């Protein structure tokens, strides 16, 4: 099982890849009129980067919770009431 720190880094990396990839995609589309090869290259690299970020989110979802962590529903069950 991964630690909380590892999961936090994985989350941060995934979102950086997604937003960075989408930004590169938009730059590629915007620069397509000036330089066709550069625009296509940025678009393809941006798309691949965003897809890599989505894959990391799927991997993160399959890893589960870190050791010792409780979900909010588990915490409610342990509360005397």
Give the pLDDT confidence score for residue 48 in this predicted structure. Answer: 98
Give the pLDDT confidence score for residue 80 in this predicted structure. Answer: 62
Give the pLDDT confidence score for residue 1 in this predicted structure. Answer: 73
- Domain total of the chain: 1
Tokens matching residue 57: 């989110």
5 located within any domain? no
Note down the domain range covering 21. Answer: 13-64
Per-residue pLDDT of the chain (81 residues; tens, 9 = 90+): 788 998 999 999 999 999 999 999 999 999 999 999 999 999 999 999 999 999 999 999 998 877 666 666 655 566 665
79 located within any domain? no
72 located within any domain? no
Q: How many CB atoms lie within 10 A of CB 66?
A: 14
Give the pLDDT confidence score for residue 2 in this predicted structure. Answer: 82
77 located within any domain? no
Q: What is the C-alpha separation between 74 and 81, in angstroms, rounded? A: 14
**52 class by beta-carbon count within 10 Å (0-12 exposed, 13-18 middle, 19+ buried):** middle
3 located within any domain? no
Q: What is the C-alpha separation between 67 and 28, in angstroms, rounded? A: 42
């Amino acid at each position: 099982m991964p630690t909380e720190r590892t999961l936090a880094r994985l989350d941060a990396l995934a979102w950086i890849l997604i937003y960075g990839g989408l930004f590169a995609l938009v730059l590629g589309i915007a620069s397509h009129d000036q330089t066709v090869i550069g625009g296509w290259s940025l678009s393809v690299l941006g798309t691949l980067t965003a897809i890599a970020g989505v894959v990391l989110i799927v991997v993160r979802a399959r890893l589960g919770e870190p050791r010792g962590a409780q979900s909010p529903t588990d915490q409610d069950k342990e509360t005397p009431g």
